[in-house]
Chain A
Amino acid sequence: MSDPSWLFNRPTLTFLAGGLGVTLELAAIAIAISFACGVLLALARLSRVAALRIVATVYIEGMRALPVLLVILFSYFGLPRLIGIRLDPFTAGAIAMSAFTSALVAEIVRAGILAVPKGVVEAAQAQGFSGAQAMRLVTLPIAIRRMMPALIAQFVTLLKDTSLTAVIGILELTRRGQLVYAQPPFQPIPVYALIAAIYFVANFGLGQAGRALEARTA
């Protein structure tokens, strides 16, 4: 215990750094997919077509009312039964994190779109923009800039939630930590302290970046 070299040696730290890499990779994939799907879901929820609106509303409200751990476990244990394809843990985790975060991003995007003054859209349409063009070229760019702080807060939550994929065996940071203290000298406390510090730095940094952005755009 007094000699910390069992934890602070190159192979162990490389192993944990690799876990952070997997955590960030999973988060990055989920951010990209959930941003694209979230925008589409928000547009569907604001659509004039009733069927689109209902499907999007049920999806968004349903997802938001469920625990993300349930979505992860369903994706890994349940989804392969439904679609008949075996999913490796990383794919199942990425699907779950993306599907869940999409619903939350959709609500942020929807609020952002609704906050854009009507006059801006009308001005674009008066200039001859079609409804879709006004949405894509005028409303969305304004809305997305305004909702960056909320989006970044959501992505901090996502980064923390990726730790839950440890339970389906993805070798991300938390799971690798467990593997490290399962070896001699079996000391979980320093391992958890180190992992917690790594998560803290990543999340606090992302949060501070969000706040800086907020100050600049406000």
Chain B
Amino acid sequence: MDWSVLADNAALLAHGLLITLEVSALAFVLSCALGVIVATLRVAPHAALRGVAAAYVEVLRNIPLLVQLFFLYFALPSAGIRLDAFACGVLALGVYTSAFVAEAIRSGIAAVPRGQLEAGLSGGMTYLAAMRLIVLPQAVAKTIPPLGNTTLNLIKNSSLVSTISVLDILGTAQLVGGRTFEYVPMFVGAGICYLIVTVPSALGVNVLEKRFAR
């Protein structure tokens, strides 16, 4: 085993780390936007909307992310829809994670007493206004701890983009490992890169959990 391969390729791994962060950040934004919409639909006053939102969550949560990613990257082109690997990665990761975000927010909304919504409605607010101005702000506080865990999983799941040739941390480690046959040093290096991101995030999640736990 030649550990110098790790030092020689440190800059490449660092670039991979940036790609991991970039994919994760974009997917995070997408998952939050979709997650809020779906969570709102899940508690909507119309049964049909609730049904659609529930189906969205269950379908996405119960199909492996890899299958969803491969569908976007390998199957959609046969229908004439071509996205580059990076876009597929962000889209698959964001949509998959949005189901978990929606669940976290829904449980947060469920934890806000119904009287709050009713007070808003009887005060003359529309359903959407009461949701946006009264219920959601309170739900957010209760949603923070499970959202933290979902975000950690998102960062770890971003490693799947390496399977469709995106050179994130894991993709870079595999590329260099395959070229030099020094898999052990490269995977250890990759592991360290992930720990650099996930350990501080996990500690942050713990702090948030303690602050919002009541």
Contacts and interface: CB of A to CB of B under 8 A. Distances in A.
Interface of A: 61-62, 64-70, 73-74, 77-78, 81-82, 156, 160-161, 163-164, 166-167, 174, 178, 181, 186-189, 191-192, 195-196, 199-200, 203-204, 207
Interface stretch (B3-11, B37-45, B82-90, B189-197): B189-197
15 contacts: A61-B199, A61-B202, A62-B195, A65-B199, A69-B159, A70-B194, A77-B183, A77-B187, A81-B1, A156-B62, A164-B66, A181-B74, A189-B79, A196-B71, A204-B58
Contacts of B58: 200, 204
A200 B183 contact: no
Contacts of A62: 195
B63 interface: yes
Interface in B40-84: 58-59, 61-68, 70-71, 74-76, 78-79
B17 interface: no
A199 B67 contact: yes
B190 A70 contact: yes
B77 to A, nearest CB: 8
A73 B158 CA distance: 15
Nearest to B159: A67
Of the listed residues A74, A178, A199, A207, the one surrounded by the most CB atoms of chain B closer than 10 A to its CB is A74
B64 A66 contact: no
B78 A65 contact: no
Given A166-B66, A174-B67, A66 B195 contact: yes
A18 to B, nearest CB: 18
B166 interface: no
Contact of A70 (B159, B163, B184): B159
B75 A203 contact: no
